[in-house]
A and B are shown apart, each in its own frame.
Chain A
């Protein structure tokens, strides 16, 4: 599992983004987190070379949601051989935008006193779910009707053992809000909303049938290409 706090948003474990063999001894692992409305790139920098590393700086290529460092990369002391440091880099979403394929691909350049290195990573889209993503109920109903059926995408969330209340709480900790809940013929229907940092709203219907560990998630969004990523976020959140 991850290192997310029970009531906070989910944070995946760090993975290696840049192996030492490709960066003259600099190994970078990382993950993304969202805390108190702020997005962070959590980095571990490990010096596997035989010389000291200094003068670190980081830059992002333009990306789908305008993610950019909100401050310089703070590595205050030289990184000595075999030393690892943890750095939390604050990000904002006001950088240059260019739709990437896959959508959440981020190309990063990092430099030190030795050279400049490049790597790509994927950020989980739930980092971009904002705190004020609970849609007004009347607007939800109107928007649900207004978005054409062709824009509705259905997914199965398999082998989930949470009840409707646990699902609601877990999703709310990750800025997915339940706008309404109905029980029809024994099954729970949760109507939910979330908003991305770029203002795109996603409406969801999550259907939980008694005795069925597979839930049906229906997503409606004016930008249907985000649906697959939002489904991925539901799966990650509900299974961790």
Chain B
């Protein structure tokens, strides 16, 4: 099945 990704994969540290 599909794997859960994380927010930090998409958004970088400010």
Check if A and B associate. no
